[in-house]
Amino acid sequence: MMHKMSLLNGRIIHNSDLGTVTQVNADDLPVMRGLSIKRLALAPGALRVPHWHANCVELGYCLRGAARVTVLASSDVYSAFTITQGQMFHIPSGALHAIENTGAAPAEMIIAFRHERPEDFSLQGTFGAMSDAALGNAYGLPAAAFAPMRHVTDGAYLARREGPARSVPETDRATAHKFDLEAQPAMIAASFGTARLARAQFWPDLREISMYSLRVTADGMREPHWHPETAEMGYVAAGRARMTLQNPDSSTETWDLAPGDVYFIPRAYPHHIEVLGPEEIHFLIFFDQPMPEDIGIRTIPAAFAPEVMAAALGLSPADLPDFPRITDDPLIVARVNPQSL
């Protein structure tokens, strides 16, 4: 079964002088469950129009540029804040929100959704579904005030802002939806790799989803591991890598990853990541839980007696490698051997 494809060359949702939106979901990668992903590239002055998702939360990471995010989560709770490179935003299910490029350069976001097929409602479409009289009643206006509006129920995906961007101060609720990930200390820090974690431990308002910003040099490797109750979806922001995965039928799959690729790993499938070439890799790795857990193979010998390990690996105790007995999962390990694949 296919586990990866290019998001840069994914299914096009919108493409114009306003920007480009591509998507990979379960229609494109059938193995996906509980997660999907979009790439949103906005030209200066362009706007991802106000909308909401009926069936999932949303988690975004700014790759470049600057954008203002406005969120209306209930009738009296709204947030407005700016995100720049390395910063993130979180949108609850059903919350009305918009993303506006407020800078002079293009802005690019990688956005994950906590559903394999997100459902969207646009503000324009919802207004279009209502009669002029109903809208007038809601605002205390005559129906004729809405006569110039087109009654469409799908609505535009991107639109252009007229005039300069208005300066809107951040609201007190902004911290619930915004997280400066790359400004956080790396929870895993070594000469051969780092990991910064956007999860509920550090972002208490996060719900149902999380992300790791993983960087590994040519001297390191993401150790073989699996997530007992968590699926994984990764986006390659930089570098080239190779991933190996084992399926429940005992077959294995190996594929190369390049910038712009996205991959999906079902929960509890063992896998690992090796760097290809001299360039550091940078992965945005999304999980379908706010506090993902993993089991790394480096910790396994500490949990089982040597005789059990030998029997499990089909070895005599005398031939068992001298495993280090480590109880803390290192996540990233040094590469002490040449590339294995």
Q: Is residue 318 part of a domain?
A: no
Nearest to 269 by CA among 247, 251, 241, 287: 247
Out of 137, 159, 179, a domain closes at 179
β-strand 188-190 against 261-265: which pairing, if any?
A: unpaired
Q: Which tokens is 141 given?
A: 């206006």
Indicate whether 189 and 172 sit together in one domain.
no
Indicate whether 50 and 172 sit together in one domain.
yes
Nearest to 279 by CA among 203, 218, 220: 218
β-pair partners for 61: 88, 110
Indicate whether 143 and 167 sit together in one domain.
yes
- Provide the number of structural domains found in the chain: 2
Indicate whether 46 and 160 sit together in one domain.
yes
Indicate whether 198 and 254 sit together in one domain.
yes
Residues 68/81, Cβ–Cβ less than 8 Å? yes
Query: Could you tell me the residue range of the domain that residue 173 belongs to?
Result: 4-179
Residues 108/65, Cβ–Cβ less than 8 Å? yes
β-pair partners for 108: 41, 64
Cα separation, 335 vs 218, whole angstroms: 8
Indicate whether 215 and 266 sit together in one domain.
yes
The amino acid at residue 228 is: P
Indicate whether 114 and 70 sit together in one domain.
yes
Indicate whether 18 and 61 sit together in one domain.
yes
Which stretch of DSSP H or E encloses residue 285? strand 281-287
List the CATH number of the domain containing 135.
2.60.120.10
Global pTM value: 0.94
List the chain pLDDT tens, one digit each, 341 residues. Answer: 789 999 999 999 999 999 999 999 999 999 999 999 999 999 999 999 999 999 999 999 999 999 999 999 876 678 889 999 999 999 999 999 999 999 999 999 999 999 999 999 999 999 999 999 999 999 999 999 999 998 898 888 999 988 777 766 666 566 789 999 999 999 999 999 999 999 999 999 999 999 999 999 999 999 999 999 999 999 999 999 999 999 999 999 999 999 999 999 999 999 999 999 999 999 999 999 999 999 999 999 999 999 999 999 999 999 999 999 988 889 999 999 887 65
Indicate whether 168 and 198 sit together in one domain.
no
Out of 179, 201, 234, a domain closes at 179
Indicate whether 65 and 119 sit together in one domain.
yes
Outline where the chain has alpha helix (H). Answer: 123-129, 132-139, 174-177, 300-303, 306-312
| Cβ partners under 8 Å of residue 76, min gap 6 | none
Cα separation, 221 vs 66, whole angstroms: 32
* Alpha carbon distances (Å) from 221 to 40, 156, 258: 30, 43, 16
Indicate whether 104 and 8 sit together in one domain.
yes
Out of 179, 198, 233, a domain closes at 179
